[in-house]
Amino acid sequence: MNIKRTELDLREELDRIKSENKDLIVGFVPTMGALHHGHAQLIKKAIEQSDFVVVSVFVNPTQFNKEADLENYPRTEEADIELLRSLGCDLLFLPSIKDVYPDSLDSKKIDLNGLDLVMEGAFRPGHFDGVVTVVNRFFEIVQPTKAFFGKKDFQQLAIINRMVEVLEWEIQIIGIDIQRSIEGLALSSRNSLLSDQELKDALIIHETMTFGKSIYKDGMSTISLKSDMEAFFNKGNLELEYLSIIDNKSLQEVTTVNEDCTVCIAAYCGEVRLIDNTQFGDF
């Protein structure tokens, strides 16, 4: 596995490889590091569907709303390198902030059709501006054929698809199902910040979604279902930020629930913010 730390070195390597195979399918997996089994599944899918796989590790400062959250985000570079080598990744990109955000960078303001104004966008103002800027920048650097993202970040995936459409990128965006622990907790780099007790407490998120499944009926009132799910959630020890039942495409709250809807939850487990989602059609 090659490791490149500058845009110039990365481009030289990719140009060399593409000169040998003009039809090369380049798969790209952008990450913020602290890699876990969920990332591994993304990378395995990329390897299955691509000729050459690039993984980036970059903790993007522009998508954090709190300085403490950025400072506390787990960083495990040596372990990440070891995992990527074991998986068979072809190239790891470890850029500096200056490489990703040069002084000459012209950030594009994109019409996201309101996808960025709800849920994460409402509680983390400017978050998706940072996401769109950094993903677009990586697309410019890597120029992949395919890019792989986890469905745990459901809203982010919808926004990236919108960005690709607006900017007319010829990149196939592939969403990979949420990976969970045996108990049901969605895998996340932030889980490493939780104590053993907090890991148990965090299961209330998945349990709440499972409870929603057990009482859900097609055409059911959203207000009624949300009320019951929130009451169930509040039996636990987490602080609920939002529980939204949304249309899969518009991401807007619906009045009645059907299989084309998704429930999205954000909550604090101690100081750690966790998100998860489940599509009713997957129940």
Question: By the 8 A CB rule, do 258 and 241 touch?
Answer: no
CA distance 43 to 48: 9
CA distance 171 to 250: 22
- Fill in the amino acid letter for 45: K
Give the number of other Cβ atoms within 10 Å of residue 146's Cβ. 18
Largest Cα separation within the chain, whole Å, is 60
Q: Which of 36, 39, 127, 206 is catalytic?
A: 39
DSSP element (H, E) containing 5: none
Catalytic residue flag (residue 39): yes
Phi, psi of 27 (to 5 degrees): -95, 140
What is the set of active-site residues? 39
